[in-house]
Amino acid sequence: MGSKVGYWALSYSAGAFVIPLVAGYVYVDLGWRWCFWITAIGFVAMAATLLFGLEETLYPRSYNTPQNAQPLESNAASLTEIYSQGTEAACLDPSIQLKTYWKTHPLHSWGVNPNKSWHDLFLHPYQLALFPPVLWAGVFTGVSICWWAAIFTTESQFFTGPPYHWSGEKVGLTNVPALIGSILGTLFAGNVSDWFIIVAARRNNGIREPEHRLILLAVTAIITSGGLVMYGKGVEVGIHWTCPVFGMGLMAFGFTASSIIGETYILDSYRAVAPESLVLINIFRNLIGMTFVFTIQPWLIHSGYGNAYIQMMVMGLVAHLTVIPMMIWGKRLRAMTAGRYLRMVEASGIPREFA
């Protein structure tokens, strides 16, 4: 599960560092207005691809087992005999016509879930705010994404001024370590965490708990803290550029990995309502991140670069300390919300065995 969430997260975390890297050259060669023109062109191209190039995958799914399914004959000679009986040529019904382009690429999906109104579908994710693990994951990933904003809103300000006085291209190139850090953070929170929970399950009598994945957040706490201090304090004292730029890479590793682990923890806990969970987590993350963008400049002016980033480090450590209660009482909290969770699952038309 972690690797799959990681690949999804990589598309927006690593991609967010590629754009500023290219934007530095666009700014110098074409002017700052073209940064926005190219972005607008990209949005139009993606919207056209989404509307006219991707097939509709949303449809009412049936979870009921066919009643006419026949059990295997108990007196079958062997599995080979059973398999050989199933290799007969299948009959195709020529009366079934292929769907037209507009049926496979509809611009709307009316009537997909006739049992629920749009109002109910809109409010469905917000019901998960009553689940303490989901609420914790939303706030935790929101705090983690603040370090993303701490890079994007300050890197140009830091490196174009003294003592660096860099051009737009050089400022854009500072995103290379952050890009590498986000890729490594994705691998850590995805592939490494998937391997880690298997090892933890073996030591837990073969029982895998979602809380096992949270242990790895101890690593992101240390790495993110180091990156924040290296970036903020390094710029304040005017140390060699390798220190703050390397700190950007550590920050990118930390907030990418911690966000993925927090999201995957919820998907492990409430997999039947995974889409709704991600919607609510993204709402918390974007609200907290947006608030941070508007507060970071007054924060820097009031406290100074170095002190502000040390305070951010403390803020990040406090957020990571909340992992300890989740590891201790997370299973109990999931048990407390099991009844409400099953009611939500059944209301969605999903049988309990798929929860």
- Please state at what angle helix 175-187 crosses helix 2-29, rounded to 10 degrees: 170
Look at residue 74 in the predicted model and tell me its pLDDT: 47
Query: Quick check: 201 and 268 in contact, CB under 8 A?
Result: no
DSSP state of 214: G
Look at residue 295 in the predicted model and tell me its pLDDT: 92
d(CA 145, CA 346): 33
Look at residue 17 in the predicted model and tell me its pLDDT: 86
pLDDT by residue (tens digit) across 219-265?
999 999 999 999 999 999 999 999 999 999 999 999 999 999 999 99
Three-class HEC string of 24-85: HHHHHHCCHHHHHHHHHHHHHHHHHHHHHHCCCCCCCCCCCCCCCCCCCCCCCCCHHHHHHH
Look at residue 250 in the predicted model and tell me its pLDDT: 96
- Which parts of the chain register pLDDT below 50? 69, 72, 74-76, 79, 82-83, 87
Look at residue 106 in the predicted model and tell me its pLDDT: 75
d(CA 151, CA 278): 24
Helix ranges, 270-303 (H): 274-303
